[in-house]
Structure 1
């Protein structure tokens, strides 16, 4: 007998056909009713330095102040643990987003509004996450900031290193970014301050019935 604690995986690491979804005692509907708002994924996408994490956290604070149940999945934070084994090659970027998409789906199942701040440069990957969720549960938030502005900000000094060839596969420099063409929310951080950007997202949620009063 194998001493592995994971009975859904065989000794070769292949998926077992015996894995089934376990139904929880508390239903999704009951969780939503308790929380008093609709669950959703706010998928913040944009170049490094565009302001994704800053806006996502400002939105999260506003939602918290409105007594919403929320969480933020930040690109750097996730790579400290769950995705710590992944690099920044195109293949690993795809896997990075796949894992985050699955985790986001679980948060939505729990009835939360989860904000994700990831460059997520490829259309196909963002569409893949959208396909995991029910209609209207995936809200793409395009943090549209010109590359020149992102480079001027360069909070982590990454653009400087990328331009010097010290970092490979850097989005916007030597790796492509597929800008959203049909994002639900289009935010331009170069033209607004952080509070205005966050309010734009909150306004969308209110106008589309996500923040119904308890």
Structure 2
């Protein structure tokens, strides 16, 4: 199977084949071969910028509105090296990667840093060749599951961080209490306080009790560590 088979299978149009192929050219290949004059680093730069705006837009349009801070955390998780490398593997992009012999022998085809850069360069090439619609086809495949279940991304668990911080100096534990619920029954907003020895240390709101507890823990943690 070639990259052209992959694009055809996904109904992604392509016009400049040299541009698409350039996304798969690692610097080690350029150093050993005369076929390509340029590696994929400039396309990687382009793809990084495209991913930032695409992922930001998807988070902004999330069915449950996210705060700026939450969007920043989720975006960082969705475009980190580990995530980008997993996208490359899911699409099988590393199969088409052009590596120098030394890099091939040293496992470059599976190296997270290399295949994460590959995904960015691939996105950059698609954007330049056929626009955002092609990029969105790819992102639908590799990101939709995570975007539909943001909790699965494992963003910082402030409840755990707060508990660990408190227990570092004592054996006390914190407790959480819902103090208010507002909004319609099908979309309530919870307001929660976190207490230590019946003293309120933090307060938070969220569209679920779990989210409100996390926000309260975050509020308390940030106050305590100042």
TM (norm. structure 2) is: 0.25
TM (norm. structure 1) is: 0.26
